[in-house]
Amino acid sequence: MLKIRIIPCLDVKEGRVVKGVNFIDLRDAGDPVEQAKIYDIAGADELCFLDITASSDNREIIYDVVTRTAEACFMPLTDGGGIRNINNIRSLLLAGADKVSINTAAVNEPNFVKKASQKFGSQCIVVAIDAKLVFEGKWEVFTHGGRKKTGIDAIKWAQRMEEYGAGEILLTSMDRDGTRAGFDVDLTRTISDNVSIPIIASGGVGNLDHLVEGVSKGHASAVLAASIFHFGEYSISDAKAHMYNAGIPVRLED
Amino acid sequence: MQKVVIIDYGSGNLRSAAKAFERMNSELGLNFTIEVSSETDIVMRADRVVLPGVGSFPDCYTGVAKQEGLLEALNEIVITKARPFLGICVGMQLMASRGYENGETIGFNWIEGDVIAIKKSNAQVKIPHMGWNELDIMVKDHLVIENLCNIAQKPHVYFVHSFHMVPKKSDHILAVTEYGQRVTAMVGKDNMIGTQFHPEKSQKTGLQLIANFLKWSP
């Protein structure tokens, strides 16, 4: 049986972790590679870097981070943030990323997703959708960290991105992101039930029950979380044990 | 010094595969050099051959076929000289007779069979089959898949694919996985094995399989 994936996400800015684990035994807690290694050993099912570097001049630093991570961690790695063109994707894949996550560039030019998936294969193209509830049962796509409204219906957008070759959707509720109030399970379920590609639920995880709900109520194939892992509140194995006990199929480490 | 050649025919990044082999080579204290190459004469001198592959079956087949002499070199080293071979993902699928992704494409025909789409049998079956799934090992005495078992569960490995190989002879299937149907996870014949999953992305289990492959003398 295919297992539900638990994906920790690290925010990386100019090659440094800005939101990450506070482990005292790390030589350099700001080094994304050191943190990636910890998650690899802990049995995370995948790892996600979100590059939040503001200046495009410093974008190249992430390639080095990805290279060093891929050399040390034998697990799937996704990189997102600031991907604008085919060359960005090529550089990341050559550095060792397995997948790239595209957000704003997809909204600006939907055909970019089509081109990228034709060129590199659907398996490595993740489309990130930031969605906000506009009224009951209707969510809209936002960009720029939830600040910019696009007028695009999130369900239709997800379907279109599937049609254009996205292999997976990373779905973040902008209403819940950072609130620790749990996933927007209605949003997650609605999108998941309307596409046939896997959905990664994101935004709002504050405890381990939320991870369970993302799957049981939201029908997600994977759950992404940042802060609950980084602050050492819960470990990957706590999360897996909790999900396992709730009847969610997860991969357990021996 | 013995050489493992990872075939580079423009199909994605091979660094993590190379690193995984390097790591197990040094952990086991073996004396292999790990080389990533597409050059015919290097392939011809390989002691072990690894063929990775991401993307579509026809793209990967074309990728191999357009490298001058590579197909012939692979046939020579793997079939005639019978050096241990590992195909990964689409690299494994290419071992089949034919692929049916975006039309019909011939394969290497090393293992008789076809590569066909995974059926979307119900709404829970999302395509691609992406993530960690269990291996149901069908043969018990194959050195490459011994000691993969985890104490708590069956071994888990990382898959990303929408098509899978259906060998004509069931004894070429070394392991399967369940995904709304029986999906071929691993094939083998003589000196050849192929994994639909990515051992280089499958943490401990994957690294163990790579170690086993390095020690395997078929």
Partners of residue B207 in chain A, C-beta under 8 Å: 74
Partners of residue B23 in chain A, C-beta under 8 Å: 74
Cis peptide before B167 (omega within 30 of 0): no
In total, how many domains does chain B have?
Answer: 1
Of residues B161 and B140, the one with the higher pLDDT is: B161
Asked if B127 is an interface residue toward chain A (Cβ–Cβ < 8 A), one would say yes
Closest partner CB to B203 (pick from A40, A121, A123): A40
Angle at B201 between CA B138 and CA B139, to 5 degrees: 10
pLDDT in tens, B34-44: 999 999 999 99
Distance from CA of A204 to the nearest CA of B (A): 23
pLDDT reported for residue B166: 98
DSSP conformation class of B101: T
Q: What distance in Å separates the CA atoms of residue A4 and residue A210, rounded to the nearest whole number? A: 14
The rounded radius of gyration (Å) of the Cα atoms in chain B is 16
User: Is A11 a residue of the active site?
Assistant: yes
Give the position of tokens 């793209």. B59
A5-245 under CATH 3.20.20.70, yes or no: yes
pLDDT in tens, B51-92: 998 888 999 999 999 999 999 999 999 999 999 999 999 999
Average pLDDT, chain B: 93
DSSP conformation class of B200: G
Contact (Cβ atoms closer than 8 angstroms) between residue A52 and residue A12: yes
CATH classification at residue B183: 3.40.50.880
Query: Biggest alpha carbon distance in chain B?
Result: 52
Distance from CA of A96 to the nearest CA of B (A): 6
- Identify the active-site residue in B35, B89, B161, B164: B89
B118 token code pair:
């995974």
Asked if B12 is an interface residue toward chain A (Cβ–Cβ < 8 A), one would say yes
Strands of B8-73, DSSP E: 33-37, 48-51
pLDDT-derived band at B211, boundaries 50, 70, 90:
very high
Contact (Cβ atoms closer than 8 angstroms) between residue B157 and residue B197: yes
Closest partner CB to A75 (pick from B160, B178, B203): B203
Asked if A112 is an interface residue toward chain B (Cβ–Cβ < 8 A), one would say no
Q: How many CB pairs under 8 A join A and B?
A: 109
Cα–Cα nearest to A165, from A107, A118, A105, A200? A118
Give the position of tokens 């639909």. B196
- Identify the active-site residue in A79, A130, A177, A184: A130
Distance from CA of B22 to the nearest CA of A (A): 10
Cα distances (angstroms) measured from residue A226 to each of A112, A218, B19, B96: 28, 18, 28, 42
Contact (Cβ atoms closer than 8 angstroms) between residue B14 and residue B22: no
Q: What is the ipTM of this complex?
A: 0.91
pLDDT reported for residue A46: 97
Contact (Cβ atoms closer than 8 angstroms) between residue B5 and residue B32: no
Partners of residue B56 in chain A, C-beta under 8 Å: 121
Mean pLDDT of A41-54: 90
Per-residue pLDDT at A28 exceeds 80 = no
Question: What percent of chain A is predicted at pLDDT more than 90?
Answer: 71
B113: β partners = B167
pLDDT reported for residue B123: 79
pLDDT in tens, A154-186: 999 999 999 999 999 999 999 999 889 999 999
Q: What distance in Å separates the CA atoms of residue B118 and residue B107, rounded to the nearest whole number? A: 18
Domain with B34, as residue range(s), is: 3-215
Per-residue pLDDT at A24 exceeds 70 = no
Asked if B202 is an interface residue toward chain A (Cβ–Cβ < 8 A), one would say yes
Cα–Cα nearest to A66, from A81, A55, A56, A54? A81
Crossing angle (nearest 10°) for helices B15-27 and A61-72: 40
Q: Report the amino acid identity of residue A18.
A: V
Mean pLDDT of B103-121: 96
Cα–Cα nearest to A215, from A189, A241, A240? A189
pLDDT-derived band at B152, boundaries 50, 70, 90:
low
pLDDT-derived band at A75, boundaries 50, 70, 90:
very high
Distance from CA of B81 to the nearest CA of A (A): 31
Angle at A199 between CA A195 and CA A203, to 5 degrees: 130
Buried b (16+ CB within 10 A) or exposed e, A222-236: bbbbbebbbeeebbb
pLDDT in tens, A187-226: 999 999 999 999 999 999 999 999 999 999 999 999 999 8
pLDDT-derived band at A31, boundaries 50, 70, 90:
confident
Q: Would the CB atoms of B12 and A93 count as touching at under 8 Å? A: yes
DSSP conformation class of B135: -
Asked if B129 is an interface residue toward chain A (Cβ–Cβ < 8 A), one would say yes
Asked if B203 is an interface residue toward chain A (Cβ–Cβ < 8 A), one would say yes
Give the position of tokens 């690894």. B50
A141: three-class secondary structure by DSSP: strand
Asked if A3 is an interface residue toward chain B (Cβ–Cβ < 8 A), one would say yes
Dihedral, B105, B107, B112, B116 alpha carbons, nearest 10 = -50
Angle at A106 between CA B56 and CA A151, to 5 degrees: 140
